Amino acid sequence: MSYLYIPAKWDVEFLHSAGEFTTRFLQNLKEKKIYGVRCPRCNRVLLPPRRVCDRCFVETTDWVEVSDVGTLQSFCVVYRKFWGLPDPPYAIGVFKLDGSDEALVHFIGGVDLTDPTKLEEVVKIGRKFRAVWAEERRGHILDIKYFEPMN
């Protein structure tokens, strides 16, 4: 039996509670500080911070400030329009920030995305990137505008 598909469109506004850990993480961004949390068992610094280590299933303890500089682990360039995201092209990177054992996903900026050949020269796995902070910060992930490549 094959099922029928019923077209539908969802356009629902709602408030999502950020919870204790994400709220604290976002509030610290206002001060240009990025914090993870340490797992007392495996000693990893988890980023974004969360209450329970997903490997050890124990509660995390200490808040640890990590660098706003990190290593690019992966990236993609987006050439299609997606609802709620910037007009293409834009790039998203996975950054392992110094002092953290995990990676943060964020926009890549300060590079020319229109020429793929030039892009390959600048955006490289293993290259160091630094956060570029928004002038006015409000406790939001976009308090970091994007990460730009370092020399």
In the shown chain, the binding pattern of residues 22 to 51 toward Zn ion, with x for contact by CB under 5 A and - for none, equals -----------------x-xx---------
Rounded least distance, CB 40 to Zn ion, Å: 8
Specify the residue, 41 or 128, whose C-beta has the smaller distance to Zn ion: 41
In the shown chain, the binding pattern of residues 51 to 80 toward Zn ion, with x for contact by CB under 5 A and - for none, equals --x-xx------------------------
40, 44, 48, 49 alpha-carbon torsion, rounded to 10°? 10
Rounded least distance, CB 130 to Zn ion, Å: 28
Specify the residue, 42 or 142, whose C-beta has the smaller distance to Zn ion: 42
Chain position carrying tokens 């500089």: 69
Specify the residue, 60 or 113, whose C-beta has the smaller distance to Zn ion: 60
Query: Beta strands 103-108 and 90-97: pairing type?
Result: antiparallel
Structure tokens at 2: 């094959």
DSSP E strand boundaries for the chain:
34-38, 45-46, 63-66, 69-78, 90-97, 103-108, 128-133, 144-149
# residues near Zn ion by CB under 5 A:
6
Specify the residue, 102 or 148, whose C-beta has the smaller distance to Zn ion: 102
- Report the C-alpha gap between 43 and 101 in whole angstroms: 9
Binding site for Zn ion (CB under 5 A): 39, 41-42, 53, 55-56
